[in-house]
Amino acid sequence: MVSASFLPVAPGGGRLQPVGIDQIRILGGFWGDRQQLNADKLIPHSLRWETKVGWIENFVRAAEGTIGGRHQGREFADSDVYKLIEAMAWEVGRTGDEDLDAEIERLGALIEAVQGDDGYLNTRFGNPGQEPRYSAFAWGHELYCYGHLIQAAVARIRTGHEGAIVRVAIKAADHVCREFGKGAREDVCGHPEIEVALAELSRATGDARYLEQARIFLDRRGHGILPDIEFGRSYYQDDEPFRESTVLRGHSVRALYLCAAAVDIAVEKGDAELLEIARLQFDATIARRTYITGGMGSHHQDEAFGVDFELPPDRSYCETCAGIGSVMVAWRLLLATGDLRYGDVIERALYNIVAASPSEAGDGFFYANTLHRRTPAMPADPDEALPRANASLRAPWFEVSCCPTNVARTFASLSTLVATASDDAVQIVQYAPASIEAEVAGSPVRLTMATGYPYDGRVVVTVDEAEAPFDLELRIPGWAAGATLGGETVEPGTCRIEGLTTDDVIELDLPLAPRLVRPDSRIDAVRGTVAVERGPFVLCVESVDLPGGLDVAEIEVLRGAEPTASGRGAAIRGRRVRHAAAPWPYGPDAAVAEGDAEFDITLVPYHSWANRGPVTMRVWVPEQA
């Protein structure tokens, strides 16, 4: 097998190359704290719950032949066990945790005992007393489950391990190629995932069959193979071929996973046209179908994108997995094109969607990420799994728990998003205290990045070792107008410093003053409102911070007011508004609001909301008329 550095994504081409989690160490700070939370709380929490709700026991029963009528969880429960194993695998690669490594092997043995001689593997279908295998392509998720199994195996391969998970995944992938390859059955899975997994397995093993099967699935989709449903075939991207689409549509996570796969396939096959199609789709989605938080998906009923500029804050779905899917696509496009501006997309989603999901204690998660909570959110029962989008505060587990394990695998492999390398330069994509080892033109480079970002905008990069001069490129975020490098102003985009050698020091200062943001007027739902951002953070108002028991529905920002720094958030001058009671809310004249005395409205980072008990919350606040 081909062994790369510890990389979730290891393209064989592209403008930039990723740097592994064994070469980049996050040294504390915002993301270091979350990596520690993941190791200490999120991964053990997920293992306890998957045991508690019977998803791991499914494999024991399937191996015993007693699973018929006793399967626990939804049809895709297997996938969450696989995602947890992937998270464990990256954590073992990051820390060398021997107990976690042993747990992976224990789970691998349970899973291997279920797999058929031909490679088929599922605890929901194909076993005694169950529906036949491949009898429900629209909703069965069998290929989707293989996808997450394969990604767990890639994590094991890339971190230098073999074992049961690798054996099982390769056997399953071979089965998929036989069953669904050219000239075999013309089917696709209702939930894309197998495509991106097969592409990465091809990279990890050097076996081109897997990449070709990924391409077959991509090009097979969009021809009406899956049944029409109430949401339309766009729900699972089977309404039109990917190569003919101009924007992401349908179920957000499915669309993003498919787009990520398209980038992988395009890079490995040298298909510049496909790469451009994927790039244009994603760029259009960012420009017209994405929330200020970086969240995607404005429909609750089908977890889907709306039409252009359909972005209601109180009905925002913004599934956590969609935020992770957005990071997956943006990262691949950054590597393929060399455009560091995709790092802005990654930063926004990481700080405002992914970081928002887990509670500060690591014992609960948001599945959906609303931008406006109209009624006080009530605590979830710590011993009960909740329906996916019905959690008031963060829930300990969900009947559909794709998000907790997705967060866990993302946090465990997060350091690879910090920096990249090219033939003549190292690129800093995300700012965090970190040590970085890379290779430029065959020569090693070692850097140390010291920063208090995102709470402090000063970033100091020291060249600890460079055998030959190299260049350094820094991503200057789009919001960072007025940034300075060594005291000189630099524009948002990419800043390149040439000819660095050992002991050189680069000092970057990013402005973290709060800034007022107004929405595009085509976003009807928030016309007449404002939001506040600070650095990479979107801020919000929680009712707990308002005077006199006010609710977030009773405030407005004074016209002309500007935000000022306050703690880790901001404050902006506002007032309470009162509307006269009326029997009917419509008429020839707009209702007139009367304002009370002014006060400072406190805003906090959105990712932190709902950690202080039941509250109402909003990101977009009405502005005084």
Strands (E), 302-381: 372-373
* Both structure tokens of 514: 């709060």
What does the pLDDT read at residue 1? 36
Residue pair 324/339 in contact (Cβ under 8 Å)? The answer is no
Q: What is the largest CA-CA distance in the chain?
A: 78
Whole-number pLDDT of residue 370: 96
Measured between alpha carbons, how far is 438 from 431 in angstroms, rounded to an integer? 16
Tell me the pairing of strands 425-428 and 470-476. Answer: parallel
pLDDT for 392 equals 65
Q: Between β-strands 621-622 and 515-517, what pairing exists: parallel, antiparallel or unpaired?
A: unpaired
What domains, with CATH codes, occur in the chain? 17-417 (1.50.10), 419-509 (no CATH), 515-622 (no CATH)
Distance between CA 436 and CA 425 in Å, rounded? 13
Smallest CA-to-CA distance from 253 within 296, 285, 189 is with: 296
398 within 8 A of 386, measured Cβ to Cβ: yes
* Distances, alpha carbon 153 to alpha carbons 20, 82, 89, 166, 330, in Å: 17, 9, 9, 5, 23
Cα 575 to Cα 601: distance, rounded to the nearest angstrom: 8
Contact 340, 494 (CB under 8 A): yes
Is residue 353 within 8 Å of residue 294, measured between CB atoms? Answer: yes
Report how far residue 115's alpha carbon sits from residue 341's, in angstroms, rounded to the nearest whole number: 44
| Cα→Cα distances 564→514, 533, 553, 585, 606, Å | 6, 11, 22, 35, 17
Q: Are 478 and 510 in contact (CB under 8 A)?
A: no
Provide block-wise average pLDDT over 10 residues at a time, the chain (625 residues).
74 97 97 98 98 98 97 97 98 97 98 98 97 97 98 98 97 98 96 98 98 98 96 97 98 98 98 98 98 97 97 96 98 98 98 97 95 89 81 85 97 98 97 97 96 98 97 98 97 98 98 98 97 98 94 95 98 92 85 83 97 94 94
End-to-end CA distance of the chain: 65
C-alpha to C-alpha distance for 229 and 29, rounded to whole angstroms: 46
The one-letter amino acid code at 411 reads F
Contacts with 472 (C-beta within 8 Å, 6 or more apart), sequence order: 425, 426, 427, 428, 447, 461, 496, 497, 500, 506
Cβ 112 vs Cβ 49: under 8 Å: no
Here the contacts of 285-288 (C-beta below 8 Å, separation 24 or greater) are 285/247, 285/248, 286/345, 288/247
CA 79 – CA 144 distance, rounded (Å) = 7
Q: Torsions phi, psi of 195, nearest 5?
A: -65, -50
Residues, the chain: 625
Q: What is the SS3 assignment for 276-297?
A: HHHHHHHHHHHHHCECCCCCEC
416 DSSP 8-state letter: G
pTM: 0.97
